[in-house]
Structure 1
Amino acid sequence: APWQRGTDENTNGLLREYFPKTEDMNSCTKDYIETCMEKLNKCPRKCLGWKTPYELFFSKALRLI
């Protein structure tokens, strides 16, 4: 059930901001997709202890705190 997969459903909501259901994905350019991917991967997430997916995957800090 969707309410049991909070992180997945939240991520789907974030993706829908850039790629609405009414839009055809085939019309998106590679540059647009890469820009959206970079924005999403560099956005802090509560479930990751306010780190970004980028920070965890590449073991690099993006902030000076």
Structure 2
Amino acid sequence: MAKALMGTHAAPSTLRLLDEVRTLRQRVADLERALATAEAARDAREDVDAISQVDDRAPAAT
């Protein structure tokens, strides 16, 4: 009955694990955002390179 009145308490080691999992999930989310940003920058560079390659070609002889 005391547990019902006071609630259950997690062991300190469990709390540390939960904190570490939360920290790691946040780190993964940060890395995923950084990867998405890097991929977008790479794609933009590839688009610019493709356009410049088209512009650098010699005009067709007619």
TM-score (norm 1): 0.30
Q: Between Structure 1 and Structure 2, whose CA radius of gyration is higher?
A: 2
Higher relative contact order (CA 8 A, sep 6+): 1
Q: Which has the higher helix share?
A: 2
TM-score (norm 2): 0.31
